Amino acid sequence: MNLIVMGPPGAGKGTQSRWLGERLDVPVISTGEMLRDEIKRKTALGTQAKRHMDKGELIPDALMIRVIEERLKRQDCKRGFILDGFPRTVAQAEALHRMRASLGGTIERAVSLSVPNEELLKRLSGRRTCRECGAMYHIIFDPPTNEGLCNKCNGELYQRDDDHEDIISSRLEIYDAQTAPVLEYYRKHRQLVEVDGVGGRDDVLDRILAALGVAKS
């Protein structure tokens, strides 16, 4: 199954994609994580991406499309994949559609998680991520057992540079202006599945699975 998980910053795309990936046994391709990894490794792409990400802006379409096209050609995507954070503009959605021959099929569903802005702000300002394994926590909703340390690998937890309030506001504005139109694109193509992203993480996952017609386990 080729799936897209969409939604505004903090909607739970990363959280739900990881679980869906395990449940469906397909790789999760998160453009945000790929870019953060490039920044960590100080590559040319990372340097360019950082300039945009630090301001909460999107990376230029041409660059992002090239990165994803290369990634989707890899062998592990042949039996399906989940895209977290791509496409984020109509131009990216159109490019993904053009890639379908090399993907061995089309995108079957675009799952959109809706969460009100007030809740997004709370989620993003309290998020902490493990530097080593990428596991996600929240200082109130899902705190680690030992403050500042990952439950899974004991790695250091950090706050993302773009999770500060002024940048969060820009990211939300950019979502409304540039990414919300992508929902319309998938609605028109009858591929959009809208899911309420508010509530416990397990409940949200159950809603997604039910909407996709996939058994719980």
Widest pairwise Cα distance in the chain: 47
Q: What is the spatial distance between Cα 46 and Cα 213, in angstroms, rounded to a whole number?
A: 38
**Long-range pairs for 130-137 at CB < 8 Å and ≥24 separation?**
130/155, 130/156, 130/157, 131/155, 131/156, 131/157, 131/158, 132/156, 134/33, 136/14, 136/15
Could you tell me the smallest distance in angstroms from the CB atom of residue 104 to Mg ion?
Answer: 26
Q: Which of 31, 130, 195, 207 binds ligand AP5 (CB under 6 A)?
A: 31
Binding mask 124-163 for ligand AP5 (x = CB under 6 A): x--x--------xxx--xx-------------------x-
Answer with the entry of Mg ion, ligand AP5, none that 88 interacts with (C-beta below 5 to 8 A by kind). Answer: ligand AP5
**For residue 9, is the peptide bond before it cis, meaning its omega torsion is within 30 degrees of 0?**
no
Binding mask 96-115 for ligand AP5 (x = CB under 6 A): --------------------
For position 14 contacting Mg ion by CB under 5 A, the verdict is yes
Residue 64 has phi, psi (to 5 degrees) of -65, -40
For position 21 contacting ligand AP5 by CB under 6 A, the verdict is no
Q: What is the spatial distance between Cα 134 and Cα 155, in angstroms, rounded to a whole number?
A: 9
Could you list the residues that contact ligand AP5 (CB under 6 A)?
7, 9-15, 31-32, 35, 52-53, 56-59, 64, 85-86, 88, 92, 123-124, 127, 136-138, 141-142, 162, 171, 201, 204
Residues with catalytic annotation? 13, 88, 127, 160, 171
